[in-house]
């Protein structure tokens, strides 16, 4: 049950013409860190990472992070380490297939971030979290929901046993064959279901699950019995997907909250945007709130969701002009 909610924008006016792909991280003291990428247009060299901090007075002034003035930046992801430091991961590169992953660390609660460093030196294969937040398992292991778009769309988990500083890849998630073969719109994917940008949860120690964005008109799921080392063949869920980003969070009572566009068309409309709830470990979901209503040609997309102290924290792209923020008490 939703008890109370509030919606606002990160800024009255962002410092860039275009913005996308936000991430959100609530903190114990009530502050919230958000980040996104912004510039004149996605893929342009002037696209950088921006972040800002929200306190009792609202959102502060956005601050730029840039590894290079000549390369576009993409898909920031915030993660809190056990020592309280915040890591901001992001991608850099002219093309998705050539992405390198960088990270920088804040030791002051998101007020400032240090110099960007490369996560896996020399890697061009989508390392670290690709869009959605990392998952800390009960064992302490960190799983980054990862995917690559090189030679087809494939999902995996990047595994860290040092709290998010170094990673090694899990086995690729096996996918079923599809006839006819898919053309995802971003390149030929042979005859496997094209899947990217997973989101993760753990329901029992070592038992991990992912839902994925696909080009097949619905969300797919895969499960791991060994803390993310290997995954079962991905299988379809009843959940529609428009080949756009999704995200979920599991709360302490076992409930799973999913934010998505419930549109069953490949490259379909990115509207409406809804919040759904599962009480049975992700087997079924019920829509409990419409965050943005359906409006032809509108874009409400790439959600991020977190939980803390009885509240959900959600951000998403609003018409590529701003980042919307919701705090929902449940």
C-alpha 308/C-alpha 253 separation (Å) is: 12
C-alpha 246/C-alpha 243 separation (Å) is: 9
- Of the options 2.40.10.10, 2.120.10.10, 3.40.605.10, 3.10.620.30, the CATH number for the domain spanning 4-329: 2.120.10.10
C-alpha 131/C-alpha 147 separation (Å) is: 9
Is the separation of the CB atoms in 143 and 200 below 8 Å? yes
C-alpha 46/C-alpha 286 separation (Å) is: 40
| Cβ-defined contacts of 297-302 (< 8 Å, 24+) | 297/269, 298/269, 298/270, 298/271, 299/270, 299/271, 300/261, 300/270, 300/271, 300/272, 300/273, 300/324, 301/20, 301/244, 301/245, 301/261, 301/270, 301/273, 302/20, 302/21, 302/22, 302/131, 302/244, 302/245
Edge-to-edge strand ranges of the sheet holding 135-136 = 135-136, 142-148, 154-160, 168-169
DSSP 8-state symbol, 66: -
C-alpha 184/C-alpha 230 separation (Å) is: 25
The token pair that represents 303 in the structure block = 């959600």
Is the separation of the CB atoms in 112 and 130 below 8 Å? no
Could you tell me the pTM of the whole model? 0.95
DSSP 8-state symbol, 128: S
C-alpha 242/C-alpha 271 separation (Å) is: 9
The token pair that represents 251 in the structure block = 């709360």
What is the pLDDT at residue 189? 56
Sequential pLDDT tens for the chain (330 residues): 676 788 999 988 889 999 999 999 999 999 999 999 999 999 999 999 999 999 999 999 999 999 999 999 999 999 999 999 999 999 999 999 999 999 999 999 999 999 999 999 988 877 999 999 999 999 999 999 999 998 889 999 999 999 999 999 999 999 987 655 556 555 445 558 999 999 999 999 999 999 999 999 999 999 999 999 999 999 999 999 999 999 999 999 999 999 999 999 999 999 999 999 999 999 999 999 999 998 888 999 999 999 999 999 999 999 999 999 999 999
C-alpha 22/C-alpha 50 separation (Å) is: 9
DSSP 8-state symbol, 310: T
């Amino acid at each position: 049950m939703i008890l109370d909610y509030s919606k606002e924008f990160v800024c009255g006016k962002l410092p860039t013409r275009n913005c996308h792909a936000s991430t959100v991280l609530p903190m114990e003291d009530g502050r919230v860190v958000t980040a996104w990428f912004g510039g004149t247009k996605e893929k342009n060299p002037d696209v950088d990472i921006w972040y800002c901090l929200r306190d009792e007075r609202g959102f502060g002034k956005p601050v730029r992070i840039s590894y290079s003035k000549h390369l576009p930046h993409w898909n920031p992801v915030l993660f809190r380490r056990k020592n309280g430091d915040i890591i901001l991961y992001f991608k850099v590169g002219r093309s998705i297939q050539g992405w390198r992953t960088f990270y920088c660390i804040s030791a002051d609660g998101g007020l400032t971030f240090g110099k960007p460093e490369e996560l896996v030196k020399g890697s061009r294969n989508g390392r670290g979290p690709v869009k959605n937040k990392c998952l800390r398992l009960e064992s302490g292991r960190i799983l980054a929901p990862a995917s690559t778009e090189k030679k087809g769309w494939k999902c995996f988990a990047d595994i860290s046993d040092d709290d998010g500083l170094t990673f090694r890849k899990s086995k690729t998630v096996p996918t079923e064959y599809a006839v006819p073969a898919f053309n995802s719109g971003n390149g030929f994917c042979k005859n496997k279901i094209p899947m990217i940008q997973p989101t993760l949860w753990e329901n029992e120690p070592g038992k991990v699950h992912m839902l994925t964005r696909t080009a097949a008109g619905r969300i797919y799921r895969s499960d791991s019995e060994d803390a993310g080392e290997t995954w079962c063949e991905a299988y379809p869920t009843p959940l529609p997907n428009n080949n756009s980003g999704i995200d979920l969070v599991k709360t302490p009572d076992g409930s799973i909250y999913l934010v998505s566009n419930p549109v069953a068309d490949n490259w379909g409309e990115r509207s409406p945007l809804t919040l759904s709830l599962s009480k049975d470990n992700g087997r079924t979901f019920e829509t409990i709130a419409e965050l943005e209503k359906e409006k032809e040609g509108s874009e409400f997309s790439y959600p991020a969701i977190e939980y803390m102290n009885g509240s959900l924290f959600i951000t998403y792209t609003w018409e590529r002009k701003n980042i919307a923020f919701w705090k929902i008490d449940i």
